[in-house]
Amino acid sequence: MSPISQASAKQRSGRAGRTKPGKCYRLYTELSFKTDLQQTTYPEILRSKMESVVLTLKKLGIDDLVHFDFLDPPAPETLMRALELLNYHGALDDEGDMTDVGYKMAEMPLDPQLAKLLLVSPDYNCSDEVLSIIACLSVPSIFMRPKEAAKQADECKAQFANGESDHITILNGYNAYLQVGKNKDWCWDNFLNERSLQSADSVRKQLVGIMTKLDLPLNSNDKKTATYNTAVKQSLTASNFMQVAYLLRNGTYLTVKDNQSVMMHPSTDVEGKPQWVLYEEFVLTNKNYIRTVTATNVEWLIAVAPHYFDLSNFPGGETKDELELAYRRMANKSGSKK
């Protein structure tokens, strides 16, 4: 929940009595209206991520983004961060031009990070599983947790839980929904949001069509093997390497490069405290939380993104020390193979 603007409040009050007599009740004081609410709502472009906007403009052939005539220009720092992210993900080259990967990402109605996840998933033989995860991440949470039945909801969610990955927990819930024939009563009994699952199913079908158009194979590992979960985690690592946190000696996590002290969100099903985790969301409340978390491996990280985990880009500290150890281990392994 967040405060609306005074302009939004006036617009909403105008709806009462538009077609029939009505009243508008505001659940805040007049003083709060005048002091806590901003006058107008910030334009959407100032509240959104810029990666998708930049990718779309690049696809349209607009290269000079700095001088582009935005109605409400975003902050230069936001624009530069978007260009940096797209470069790290291989959508733009060092000259700022779109690559083949970038054109494929632009074809997908997804956040660039999720688009990259879909593109790399066939390399790990798990595009079928990743499709389901992306579809579920594109809709409201498939898990319900009403306050009056929180304990029951947690018990039901536990049957789908994976101790190393919230992403795989979501995948397990979606797969179970398919296995019971998309049964409405079963969803209700197991505290799953049927409407979200239906929406995810629709999104998934659309993404399958896009994969076919882009000649991306739909493949999967055997569910009975350890490779099944490992492949999904490696695929997530290849796309979320910029959203990673490292466990410090004091028991808290530190986000890589941003150096934000964070904790895993209470809703996570990840057990214990893995040394390295990747995440989907950074949630700022009275504390900093990372949500939708998956345990990863430092050697996977530097293997898929050596350009990002370049030691010269890191200040001294525990994170850099651990990366240096990982690089040494990998060098020793390659030396022993020779």
Instruction: Identify the residue with better confidence: 338 or 253.
Output: 253
Mean pLDDT value of segment 56-82: 81
Most confident of 8-12, 61-65, 154-158, 326-330: 154-158
Position 42 confidence tier, pLDDT thresholds 50, 70, 90 = low
Residues 244 and 324 in one domain: yes
pLDDT in tens, 266-313: 999 999 999 999 999 988 777 899 999 999 999 999 999 999 998 887
Query: What distances in angstroms separate CA 332 from CA 305, 307, 329, 337, 338, one per listed residue?
Result: 19, 20, 5, 9, 10
Query: 269, 273, 282, 280: which is closest to 253 by C-alpha?
Result: 273
Report yes or no on 221 lying in a domain. no
Position 336 confidence tier, pLDDT thresholds 50, 70, 90 = low
pLDDT in tens, 189-214: 999 999 999 999 999 999 999 999 99
CATH number, domain with residue 51: 1.10.10.2130
> What SS3 class is residue 92?
strand
Report yes or no on 246 lying in a domain. yes
Residues 98 and 135 in one domain: no
Residues 85 and 150 in one domain: no
Residue 206: domain span? 120-213
Tokens of 228: 């099944």
User: Total domain count for the chain?
Assistant: 4
Query: What distances in angstroms separate CA 320 from CA 260, 288, 306, 310, 325, one per listed residue?
Result: 15, 22, 13, 10, 9
Please tell me the distance from the alpha carbon of residue 157 to that of residue 168, in angstroms, as a whole number: 12
Report yes or no on 219 lying in a domain. no
Mean pLDDT value of segment 228-246: 95
Residues 149 and 184 in one domain: yes
| Residue 46: predicted pLDDT | 44
Query: 292, 282, 297, 205: which is closest to 246 by C-alpha?
Result: 297
Q: Is the pLDDT of residue 109 over 60?
A: yes
Residues 149 and 209 in one domain: yes
Residues 22 and 55 in one domain: no
Phi and psi torsions of 259, nearest 5°: 55, 45
Residues 30 and 49 in one domain: no
Largest CA distance in the chain: 83
Query: 305, 327, 296: which is closest to 116 by C-alpha?
Result: 305
Report yes or no on 229 lying in a domain. no
Report yes or no on 113 lying in a domain. no
Task: Indicate the DSSP class of residue 192.
Answer: B
Report yes or no on 287 lying in a domain. yes
